[in-house]
Structure 1
Amino acid sequence: MLEKVKADDFSYIYKLYMNPEVNPFLLYEMMDSETFRPIFDDLLKDEVLYLYKEGTKTLGMCKLVRQKYRDEHKLYLGGVAIHPEHFGKGFGRKMMLEIIDFCREKAILRIELTAAVHNKKAIQLYENVGFIKEGVLKNYTYLKSKNQFIDEVLMSNLL
C-alpha cells in the first residue's frame, strides 16, 4: 500500500536515502540528518513522498510528482527505493504495480522516470512493468562526491 509520508517518518526516510546501497541511485548526496531535514520538510510540504508498505511493515518509498496545467495527465516518478533488507523478494515489482494502479485511479495517462544507464536492475524492473525507453539524457546527473556526470535513460509508461 502507498501511504503519504508524515513528519514522524523522518528517520526511516533519512536512513533509506542515506543507505550506501541505495544512495548512489537517488537524488541527494550523502549528508547528516541536520542537513537533510530541510529537504525532507520540503518534500513533506509538497506532499510528493510516499512510503510503500505491506501490512504494518514499511518496505520502501517513492516520490510521485503530478505535473500541472497542460501536463496534468503526467506524473514524474522519482526516489524509488526498496530497503536493502527486502531486496530480491519481489517488493520492487509489487510497489511499481501499485504505483501504476494509483496513477490509473488518479486519471494519470503517462508516468515518466529516469534511471542511471548503469542501473540495469532498475531498468529491467521498469521494463517488466511496462515502461519503455525513450532516450538517453547525457550528463544528466552530477555526482558531486565522485566529481562525475552520469547519463540517465528516460522511460515512460503510457496508461
Structure 2
Amino acid sequence: MIRSANKDDFDFVYRLYMHPEVNPFLLYELMDEDSFRPIFEELLRDGVLYIFRASDEENASPTGMFKLIQLKHRTSHIAYLGGVAIDSSFTGRGYGVHMMQEIIALAESKGVKRLELSTGVHNLRAAALYEKCGFKREGILRHFTYLKTEDRYIDEVLMSYLF
C-alpha cells in the first residue's frame, strides 16, 4: 500500500536516507536530523514523498519510500522517480518488486506516460530490480552525481518505463 508521507514519517525517512548502505545511492549527503528537517518539510510541502507499506493493515510499519515528481507543461506526461529505498529489515523478501508495481500503478493513475529514474552504474541490484519491473536502459549520465564525502563523481544509468 502506498500513501503520501506525513510529518510522523520523519524518523523512518531520515533513517532510510542516512543508512550507510542506502545513502550513497540517494540524493542527500549524510547529515544530522536538524539539517535534514527542512529538506523533509519541503518534500512534504511539494507532495512528492510517499511511503510504502507491504501490509494493508492500518498500523503496519513502513517498508519503503520514494519520491514521484511529475514534470510540467510539455513534459507533464513524465514523472521522475527518485529516493527509492526499502528498509534494510525488509530487504530480500520481494518487497522491492511489490513496491515498484504499486509505484507504476500510482504513476499511471496520475496520467503519467513515461516514468524515468537514474541509478548508479555500480548499483546492480537496483538496476536489476527496475529491469525486472519493465524499465529499459536508455543511456549513461556521465559524472551525474557528486559524492562530496568521497570527493568523486559517479555515472548513472538513465532508465524509463513507458506506459
TM over 0.5: yes
Counterpart in the other structure of 1:80: 84
- Using the alignment, how far apart are the partners of 1:150 and 1:29 within structure 2? 14
- Using the alignment, how far apart are the partners of 1:49 and 1:78 within structure 2? 9
2:102 to 88, 98, 114: 98
- Using the alignment, how far apart are the partners of 2:34 and 2:158 within structure 1? 32
Q: Deviations over 1:5-36 (max 9, x none)?
A: 10121111111111111111100011000000
**Aligned residue pairs: how many?**
159
Counterpart in the other structure of 1:23: 23
Counterpart in the other structure of 1:42: 42
Moved beyond 3 Å, runs of 4+: none
Q: Percent identity?
A: 51
Gap runs ≥5 in structure 1: none
Counterpart in the other structure of 1:114: 118
- Using the alignment, how far apart are the partners of 2:61 and 2:9 within structure 1? 13
Shift of 1:107: 1.5
Secondary structure in structure 2 of the residue aligned to 1:58: coil
> What is the TM-score of this pair, normalised by structure 2?
0.96
Gap runs ≥5 in structure 2: none
2:73 to 61, 65, 69: 69
Superposition RMSD on alpha carbons, in Å? Answer: 0.7
Shift of 1:106: 1.4
